[in-house]
Amino acid sequence: MTQVWCNGDIKPAETALGAQDRGLLLGEAVFETLLCKGGVPQFWDAHLTRLTAAGTAFHMPLPYSPDALQQGVLDLLKMETPAERSILRITLTGGNGGRGLVAQEASPPTCLMQISPAPKRPEGLRLWISDTVRLATPKSHKTNAYLDNIMARRQALANGAEEALLLNQHGRVASCAAGNLFVQIGKQWVTPPQSEGALAGIMRGQLIQMGPAAGFDVVEGLLDPDLVSRADGLFVTNSVNEIVAASLSGEVGAAQKKQGHALCEALPQFSKF
């Protein structure tokens, strides 16, 4: 039986959350997904900072200190031999306040952590432009409202691709169903700004930082599908797969796959937690 960490205790996953949890009933929840390498969460501080900001924005203050959460992760890891690659998900919900847009009674947030096996990192991703619209908003957070992402990914799979590309209401590129997009045009790499509907991804930030050292400049800019189709290269970033080469017109070329792998190798590696 799978075990999770919930509000300070290790519990069976099947019974950890009650039927009154507002994350279940109303989607009142935010989350972070971290890649663990050899049992060590990568970019822990950055993910925790983003989770704290999202919780604050939605009036769900994180009820545990970083030290308490770290101990919870260690307790979970002790229960099995750490895999070379695994996924840590931290979910923060509105707690057991029940139905109603605003809880009738004060309900402390629920914090849930779980570890799952990580899929093999893909060498390349074929993209499909989805008809799901991602609204361009000034600032976005990683919430549990993922139905649009799910439907976009299903549409991509049905059309022989592995990942979906989402456009905003202006017909410009916002993001992928699970990640941010970078478009290579010569030595310049362009990625949509948050105002276009992109998430402030942890890997997105890393690639922006490492660009000059890797021989290219990363800029935020508006991207239309035609420009994407004519790009010299495409890359999708997220915290699980890190940096993966992509294509909008078929199989990803060997050189681009090699470039994506090299960028992953250049990322900071965390060996202590």
pLDDT tens, residue by residue, 122-159: 999 999 999 999 988 767 789 999 999 999 999 999 99
Tokens of 147: 């139905």
Q: Are residues 51 and 136 in the same domain?
A: no
DSSP state, residue 162: S
Task: Say whether both 129 and 260 belong to one domain.
Answer: yes
**What is the tally of structural domains in the chain?**
2
Q: What percent of the chain has pLDDT over 90?
A: 84
CATH assignment of the domain containing 112: 3.30.470.10
**Are both 220 and 254 inside the same structural domain?**
yes
Backbone φ and ψ of 136, nearest 5°: -75, 120
Tens digit of each residue's pLDDT (9 = 90 or more) over 17-48:
999 999 999 999 999 999 999 999 999 999 99
> Are residues 136 and 95 located together in one domain of the fold?
no
31 Cβ contact list (under 8 Å, min separation 6): 51, 89, 90, 91, 92, 142, 143, 144
Regarding whether 102 and 85 lie in a shared domain, the answer is yes
- Domain termination residue (choose one: 117, 139, 156): 117
If asked whether residues 146 and 71 sit together in one domain, one would say: no
pTM: 0.94
Evaluate whether residue 104 is within a structural domain: yes
Label residue 112 exposed, middle or buried (CB < 10 Å: 0-12, 13-18, 19+): buried
For residues 261 and 128, state if they share a domain: yes
Do 131 and 216 fall into the same domain? yes
Give me the CATH number covering residue 141: 3.20.10.10
Give domain status of residue 59, yes or no: yes
Last residue of a domain, one of 101, 117, 133: 117
- Residue 273 included in any domain: no
**Boundary (domain end) residue, out of 56, 86, 117:** 117
Are 75 and 153 contained in the same domain?
no
Kindly state whether residues 113 and 158 are assigned to the same domain: no
> Radius of gyration over alpha carbons of the chain, in Å?
19
Give a yes or no: residue 272 inside a domain: no
Q: Is residue 271 part of a domain?
A: no
Question: Cβ contacts of residue 30 below 8 Å, gap of 6+?
Answer: 51, 54, 55, 58, 60, 91, 92, 141, 142, 143, 144
**128 and 262 fall within a common domain:** yes
What domain range is 55 assigned to?
3-117
pLDDT score for 95? 94
Please check whether residues 58 and 141 belong to one and the same domain. no
Q: How far is it, in rounded angstroms, from Cα 184 to Cα 263? A: 14
163 within some domain:
yes
Q: What's the pLDDT score for residue 1? A: 67
pLDDT digits 0-9 by tens, 77-114: 888 777 899 999 999 999 998 888 988 777 899 999 99
In a domain, 252, yes or no: yes
